[in-house]
Structure 1
Amino acid sequence: MDKLRSGTVGRRFTILYTTGFLGSGIVLLALTYLMSGGRVTGVAPQQPPTGRPDLAAAEQQIRDLQRQLSDVHAQQSHQLLVGSLIALVVMAGVSLLLGRVLAGRVLRPLRLITAATRRISAENLHQRLAVAGPVDEVKELADTVDGLLERLEASFVAQRRFVGNASHELRTPLATMRASLDVAVAKPEPAPQAVALAGRLRTELDRVEHLLDGFLVLARAQHGTLADRSPVSLGELARAALTDRAADIAAKTLTVDDEARPDAWTRGTPALLSRMVENMVDNAIVHNKESGWIRITTEHDDTEARLVVETGGRVLDQARVDRLTQPFERLGADRTGPEGSSGLGLSIVAAIVAAHGGRLALLARPEGGLRVAAALPSAAGFGRVTR
């Protein structure tokens, strides 16, 4: 039974078919042998009259014939048993082959459904299995999957429509409030309380706009299409991100070990990949301690281009680190600093990496701190060709 549970459906079907065939064959063989063993019976000879030697000789001949018949019957039973066992072994092999063929034919529609379902992704949710044939269990399964794909397509269309409309619908009120604050502060001799209130409101508006921008990028990475793919250097994006955050790095007196090389090329959407690298660098700066350190390295081969960002600090729990790719997950209150962390940084990184067919690894360093490594499909050779 353990073999039946551990194998594939086709293997289980083959084993069940073969077991049933062998069981019925063994029962049939046993019945045949038992029935053949009792068909010949001996005849008790009569006592010949006294003084008749010819009858005694005939009686002795009859007993000899009975012994010969019994020997022939035993030999035939043995031959029948041996022949049946040989036939059973041969048919066991035949039943294995036949069971495999039957299992393949029975499961062929399910394999077609599985292959077609694997080909359907977020970019071609309009496709359907559309299995033809009689209304049976297989067609009901295919129709159920088609209904699920239809609901998923409607959900993805709604998500993409939100990404397209949310920017205008949500940014317009923010711009209006910001303009109203500017007008109020620009009046001659504004009240000091109004100026202070306007400063606080601008800070909150900046945080709301930053959060909104994070939502839009996350939605685009998770539910959008990557049409504008082009070669991008992860090393150059890292250098640009470090340059943009030079003031924040200096404010925390962080030591940066920049080992990013420009020859780590990948292919994707430049805007999304730039946001991915910026978020990795921002995460290393915002959630670092004063006078801490940051190490940025790049690696590449024929299959992958990797960007690794490491920071020092206290020892972290790996189970909690694994949850940081979920929106609004933080490692405690220390991850909500004055920089206005939205809790979307690493979740956006994970979504962008997944959208480009890569993988993201978060590791709590044994000596303390965090290691964030993004591996993307390599565009190997592009830098050598173009330079």
Structure 2
Amino acid sequence: MRTWRLPARTARLRLTVLYGGMFLLSGVGLLAITNLVGLGGTRVSRSAPAGVPPVEPATLAAATERIARLQAQLADAHAAQTRQLLVGSAVALVVMGVVSVVLGRVVAGRVLRPLRMIITATRRITADNLDERLAVRGPDDEVKDLADTIDGLLERLENAFAAQRRFVADASHELRTPLATMRASLDVALAKPEPVPEQTAALAHRLRAELDQIDRLLAGLLTLARARHGSPPGRTALPLGRLAAAALDDRAAGLAAKELTVDASGVAGGAWTRGDPTLLTRMVDNVIDNAVTHNHRGGWIRVAATDGAAAELVVETGGPVLDQAQVDRLARPFQRLGADRTGSGDGSGLGLSIVAAVAAAHGGALRLRARPDGGLAVTVSLPPAEVPAEVPAEVPA
């Protein structure tokens, strides 16, 4: 059953009620004054005119009767005039009510027109075009002050995003260089002809593993920063299904080591979308890595790519029943379910947060669902794209 809802209490509605009420009260006052003046000026005088000579009784009786008839006719005419005036006033009041609402809405629209222009321009400005400004012209009133304040805020946001981009560019070089130096020093120390003590070699291998972990963590942080605050993604047409198939092929050794069963029959190279090839490839790789890493030996993975209102990549895994409240937090950085529930404690905790950031940067979304039978279902939805006549070079064969 369709329920009737009140209109939203917008500023235009409130101004319409205010202006319409003012116009309506003005009309009511005007009609009231008109009625008072019209009704007050129709009183009948019953006194005889001065200077009229007295008449005979017979003639007086006839005159009295005639006067009575004239007074009755005059009273009837006065009553009819009064009724007509009241009906006309009621009709005029209804018309004034409608006109008051229309005039109130028109006046409210003209008053709020600069604000609507500011709202439209502000919604059009995103993280990709922070260099745009409202630049409202007009008198120095409250509306122009509001627009100038928003322009100042946009300028500060642009500077903040530019600082983020500079940090990403600088950190990519400044932080990776010392890691590469330390890794090379360990390799040189282990490659010396003199025999290396077993304890020293074990320590060096452990340090090398930690350096690799730090390198992966740094790469994840840089990718996350680039997806959230980097330059706008490119617009190359790519199929999510084919990217997922390539990711599964690259991880064939890990799948075999864990004895995982993979069902990729629903991939078939579908789910075309547009975006940055590097970021989309990293996004799909992270989804597949999450399915492989956080899976039990002998488990299963099901991958499907579908076209429709959105290009969707769905990756499902088996396992124990998970808590949906905890699953919802997995898209945040450094959030894990724990080795006792996912089968592995490896990973930096950035995989799904990178997936969420890349999907959001391309106008999509990440959905995580705890399967009722156990395990996790990861769905990435992106805006669809038409299949190009020529497959781009970035698309895996």
Q: TM-score with structure 2 length normalisation? A: 0.86
- Structure 2 CA distance for partners of 1:130 and 1:226, relative to 1, 3 Å: closer
Describe the superposition over 1:171-191 as per-residue Cα deviations: whole angstroms up to 9, x where unpaired: 112112222222333341222
| Structure 1 residue 167 displacement after superposition | 1.0
In the other structure, the counterpart of 1:261 is: 268
| Structure 1 residue 32 displacement after superposition | 4.5
| Structure 1 residue 382 displacement after superposition | 2.1
> Is the deviation greater in 224-233 or in 141-150?
224-233
CA contact (8 A) 2:21 2:100 kept: no
> Is the deviation greater in 97-106 or in 136-145?
97-106
In the other structure, the counterpart of 1:67 is: 72
SS class of match (1:342): coil
In 2, Cα distance between equivalents of 1:207 and 1:384: 39
| Structure 1 residue 142 displacement after superposition | 0.6
Q: Kindly provide the amino acid, as one letter, of the partner of residue 118 in structure 1.
A: R
* Residue 160 of structure 1, aligned match among 153, 161, 165: 165
| Structure 1 residue 153 displacement after superposition | 0.1
Q: Tell whether 2:282 aligns with 1:275.
A: yes
SS class of match (2:262): strand
CA contact (8 A) 1:307 1:373 kept: yes
| Structure 1 residue 235 displacement after superposition | 2.2
State the percentage of identical aligned residues.
60
| Structure 1 residue 314 displacement after superposition | 2.3
Q: Kindly provide the amino acid, as one letter, of the partner of residue 227 in structure 2.
A: A
Describe the superposition over 1:28-82 as per-residue Cα deviations: whole angstroms up to 9, x where unpaired: 4455545654555565679xx9x94443444444443333332222222111111
In 1, Cα distance between equivalents of 2:11 and 2:76: 50
Q: Kindly provide the amino acid, as one letter, of the partner of residue 219 in structure 1.
A: A
- Structure 2 CA distance for partners of 1:336 and 1:319, relative to 1, 3 Å: closer
Question: How many residue pairs get matched?
Answer: 383
> Is the deviation greater in 203-212 or in 372-381?
372-381
Q: Name the structure where helix makes up a greater proportion of residues.
A: 1
Describe the superposition over 1:105-158 as per-residue Cα deviations: whole angstroms up to 9, x where unpaired: 112111211221122122221111111111112111111111110111011000
Uncovered stretches (5+) of structure 2, i.e. residues with no partner: 49-53
SS class of match (1:124): coil
In 1, Cα distance between equivalents of 2:127 and 2:113: 26
In the other structure, the counterpart of 2:133 is: 128
Describe the superposition over 1:295-318 as per-residue Cα deviations: whole angstroms up to 9, x where unpaired: 0011124x5322110111222233
In the other structure, the counterpart of 1:243 is: 249
Q: How does 1:186-335 map to 2 (within 5 A)?
A: 186-187=191-192, 188-226=194-232, 228-259=234-265, 260-301=267-308, 304-332=310-338, 334=340
| Structure 1 residue 22 displacement after superposition | 2.8
Describe the superposition over 1:210-238 as per-residue Cα deviations: whole angstroms up to 9, x where unpaired: 11000100111111224543232322211
In 2, Cα distance between equivalents of 1:123 and 1:234: 24
Q: Kindly provide the amino acid, as one letter, of the partner of residue 172 in structure 1.
A: T
Q: Kindly provide the amino acid, as one letter, of the partner of residue 297 in structure 2.
A: E
In the other structure, the counterpart of 2:8 is: 6
In the other structure, the counterpart of 2:84 is: 79
| Structure 1 residue 384 displacement after superposition | 7.7
Uncovered stretches (5+) of structure 1, i.e. residues with no partner: none
Aligned-residue Cα RMSD (Å) equals 2.9
- Structure 2 CA distance for partners of 1:183 and 1:221, relative to 1, 3 Å: same
In 1, Cα distance between equivalents of 2:313 and 2:389: 16
- Structure 2 CA distance for partners of 1:30 and 1:90, relative to 1, 3 Å: same
* Residue 365 of structure 1, aligned match among 349, 367, 371: 371
SS class of match (1:294): strand
In the other structure, the counterpart of 1:21 is: 23
| Structure 1 residue 100 displacement after superposition | 2.8
Q: Kindly provide the amino acid, as one letter, of the partner of residue 360 in structure 1.
A: L
Describe the superposition over 1:232-257 as per-residue Cα deviations: whole angstroms up to 9, x where unpaired: 23222112211222222222221111
- Structure 2 CA distance for partners of 1:72 and 1:252, relative to 1, 3 Å: same
- Structure 2 CA distance for partners of 1:373 and 1:227, relative to 1, 3 Å: closer
| Structure 1 residue 3 displacement after superposition | 8.0
SS class of match (2:301): strand
In 1, Cα distance between equivalents of 2:389 and 2:327: 34
- Structure 2 CA distance for partners of 1:107 and 1:3, relative to 1, 3 Å: farther
SS class of match (2:381): strand
In the other structure, the counterpart of 1:88 is: 93
Describe the superposition over 1:338-365 as per-residue Cα deviations: whole angstroms up to 9, x where unpaired: 5632111111111111222223222222
| Structure 1 residue 330 displacement after superposition | 2.4
Q: Kindly provide the amino acid, as one letter, of the partner of residue 163 in structure 2.
A: A
CA contact (8 A) 2:338 2:344 kept: no
